[in-house]
Amino acid sequence: MLADTTAPGTEASTTASTGGPTTSSGRPPRSLFAGRPRPGEAVIRLVLRLAAGVAIVTTIGILIALLIPAIGFFREVPVVDFLFGDRWAPRFADASFGVIPLVTATAWTTAIALLVAVPLGLGAAILLSEYARPGLRKVLKPILEVLAGVPTVVYGFFALQFIQATVFREWLQLDTGAFSVLAAGLVMGIMIIPTIASISEDAMSAVPMSLRQGSAALGANRMQTSLRVVFPAALSGVMAAVVLGISRAVGETMIVAIAAGNQARIVTGPLEQGQTMTGFIASAALGDSRVGSLEYDTLYAVGLLLFAITLLVNFISIRLVRRFRQAY
């Protein structure tokens, strides 16, 4: 038998079962990475840092561009009156700046959109990930993602002319006017379906096959495996997809500007019309208000509130994703 000639305090190199050299601790030897300098890697790292820096600088620039005019607005309008006032009439003689009507309309359209997009999007994701064959998946997924490429102004006219005028008023004979938050929310939900479905399908496809095989070995059928094994394992990715859908719904402009209406009032039902925050920004930023006036600064105050809501949603989503994230 040969004696062990390894010097004390050193780690002998062995060959892993995968064919790669490793040390006795299971880690690759340092010599694999300690080679000659690679200028290409340095350039790639520099480009990635520049990309991250551009994203950060852009976010800071957006915040500054919103914050400076908004400060001038809040010097004349108290923050409490802006956040909790129930009348929004910035262009009237007896002007009022309560943003609650815009917030309620935004909440209605977002909630309706999520009620449509989340079940259908997750159902499409489960179909593509767990049931569809590879050939069928290659056909269905691009077709589904085509919906994400349709211009939102087309969705807006579809909601106004077909959903609201034809379906609601002619076919269903609903007691509604020319606009409604229901029509805008339904079509906005259709627009969000590809986003939720695509990201959720990617998260479910990343779940190891061993979990599915273990579930099948215990006697579970495909539906039980999908809902009780794959879905919980991909929960962090699914939550990220839903939060991205919320952000898109809150920030959508053209659909709500065309189909939800331009009357700023507190919305109490889905068949009513109402003006959302983005709808007000789109209608008020047409050049009718003098730059630097209080009416003009309302754009930045509403934009800052919208930015804060989106930031809060993203912050909550990051916390939830980190909590439910699982590594395999």
pLDDT for 214 beyond 60: yes
Does 206 lie in the same domain as 91?
A: yes
A 10 A CB-CB count for 223 gives: 11
Does 52 lie in the same domain as 178?
A: no
Does 167 lie in the same domain as 300?
A: yes
pLDDT in tens, 38-74: 778 889 999 999 999 999 999 999 999 999 999 999 9
Last-in-domain residue among 22, 49, 76: 76
Residue 96, domain extent? 79-324
Does 304 lie in the same domain as 268?
A: yes
The average pLDDT across 108-121 equals: 96
pLDDT, residue 13, reads 44
pLDDT for 314 beyond 80: yes
Does 234 lie in the same domain as 217?
A: yes
Residue 143, domain member (yes or no) = yes
Residue 16, domain member (yes or no) = no
Residue 263, domain member (yes or no) = yes
Residue 233, domain member (yes or no) = yes
pTM of the model: 0.84
**CATH for 187:** 1.10.3720.10
Q: What is the DSSP string of 183-205?
A: HHHHHHHHHHHHHHHHHHHHHHH
pLDDT for 17 beyond 50: no
Q: What is the DSSP string of 19-85?
A: S-EEETTSSPPGGGT--S--HHHHHHHHHHHHHHHHHHHHHHHHHHHHHHHHHHHHHHS-HHHHHH-
Count: domains in the chain: 2
145 falls in which pLDDT band (50, 70, 90)? confident
Residue 85, Cβ density class (10 Å: 0-12 exposed, 13-18 middle, ≥19 buried): middle
Phi and psi for 98 in degrees, rounded to 5?
-80, 120
157 falls in which pLDDT band (50, 70, 90)? very high
pLDDT in tens, 253-298: 999 999 999 889 999 999 999 999 999 998 887 767 777 788 889 9
Does 100 lie in the same domain as 56?
A: no
The whole-angstrom separation of Cα 73 and Cα 79 is 9
Range from 142-156, 202-216, 314-328 carrying the lowest mean pLDDT: 314-328
Does 230 lie in the same domain as 123?
A: yes
H-type alpha helices, the chain: 39-76, 79-84, 100-126, 134-146, 152-158, 181-205, 209-217, 222-225, 231-233, 235-251, 254-259, 277-284, 294-324
The average pLDDT across 197-215 equals: 92
SS3 277: helix
